[in-house]
Each structure stands twice: as C-alpha cells, then as structure tokens.
C-alpha cells in the first residue's frame, strides 16, 4: 500500500521533513529515485533536455559506482543530486549505526545536502542524526511508477490529478518503473506546461 498524496498523519509524524515547496509559486519539482542505470536514466535525461528542464536525482551509491558516466552526465547537464543510501536500505529494518554509515558511504559520491530515505521508512532516531547535515526530502505526489500492476496511463493520471503549486513529484529510474515512467514522464511535462507550471530542481549545496 502507498499514498499518492502524502497524508496528513505522515506529515505530522515527520514534521521536519520536506514534503513540498512553496505553494505560492507555480513550480513543480521532478525527482527520480534509485539510479543511475543505463536502461532508463539516459531516456529521462534526454527527455528533460528536450524540454530544457532541470530535476533532482536521488542516487543509490552502488549504482553510481556501476554507472559513473551516467552520473557524470547528470552533473554536467546541471541537475541536482541527492543521497538515497549506498544500498537502498530500509531504515526501519536497519541498525542506526549501520544506516548512518551506509549513507556516509553514498555521501562520498554525491556530496549533497539532500537525502531521501528509501521507501520513506526511516526511524526518528536516524533522522535526528541526519537533520544537522541534510534536508530530508519526502514527496507531495508519488507517481506509483514502481507498481507493476499500475497501468502507464494511471501513473500519468496519478501525477496530473494531484500536482499543484510546489509539488515534489517522485518517479523512479529503476527497472520496474520503465514502462510507466517512459510513458508518463513526457506526457506529465506536456500537460503541466500547458497548465502554466514551470519546473525547478531542489536546491543543493555541495558538501565536501
């Protein structure tokens, strides 16, 4: 089970987490989790380049090591990157010290102030150690592209129905998501541009 819109109780429980940006600005923030991988990340980068849009990629450290050229392309094309742990760990199932160490391993590659916990499963005890160093990013709109039972059209409709000023939208650059993200992403961009939205990336400060 997952929520396309971040529910109020999740926002209440994780009060210091960023779910959306300013509702005053007609801006949308596209984010992509789990890459980089050669099967879909280049398509996403090509699509963003076609529209001259910058986005934010929450990268898994081991995928950066496997595909450094794609990661370098993200940076060279001006996109923001965030830390998504080194091995896509679920915080609820991981000892705090091991979780923080895994993030630190990824951080050597991403050097960013942005962090998104995989599955949005992170303990408050872990967050307390992360807040001094990271802006922790959840989402306002979860596309559902990881759901193999969801049609590409419904993935598109999930995003269009729920997006509004300041929305942070989650797509995935992983194998499972390919049929849905490849269909939905260009159509989402087209429709939201027609509705007068602009696209921006999450602000990142490079950390040594």
Q: Residues with catalytic annotation?
A: 33, 172
SS3 for 28? strand
C-beta separation of 184 from 145 below 8 A: yes
Q: How far apart are CA 148 and CA 123, in angstroms?
A: 27
Element (H, E) at 156: helix 152-162
Q: How far apart are CA 133 and CA 118, in angstroms?
A: 18
CA dihedral 163→17→78→57, nearest 10 degrees, is -80
Residue owning tokens 């923080």? 100
Structure tokens at 135: 């802006």
CA distances from 141 to 31, 48, 72 (A): 10, 19, 27
């Amino acid at each position: 089970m997952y929520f396309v819109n971040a529910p109020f109780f999740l926002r209440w429980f994780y009060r210091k987490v960023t779910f959306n940006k300013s509702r005053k600005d007609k801006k949308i923030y596209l984010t992509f989790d789990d890459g980089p991988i050669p099967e879909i990340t280049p398509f996403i980068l090509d699509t963003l380049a076609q529209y001259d849009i910058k986005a934010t990629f929450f990268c898994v450290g081991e995928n950066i090591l496997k595909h450094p050229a794609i990661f370098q392309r993200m940076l060279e094309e001006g996109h923001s990157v965030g830390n998504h742990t080194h091995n896509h760990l679920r915080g609820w199932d991981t000892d705090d010290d091991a979780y923080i160490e895994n993030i630190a391993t990824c951080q050597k590659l991403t050097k960013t102030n942005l962090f998104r916990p995989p599955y949005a499963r992170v303990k408050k005890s872990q967050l307390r150690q992360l807040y001094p160093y990271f802006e922790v990013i959840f989402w306002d709109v979860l596309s559902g592209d990881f759901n193999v039972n969801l049609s590409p059209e419904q993935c598109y409709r999930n995003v269009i129905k729920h997006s509004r000023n300041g929305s942070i939208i989650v797509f995935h650059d992983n194998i499972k998501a390919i049929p849905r993200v490849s269909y939905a992403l260009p159509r989402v961009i087209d429709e939201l541009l027609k509705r007068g939205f602009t696209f921006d990336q999450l602000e990142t400060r490079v950390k040594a």
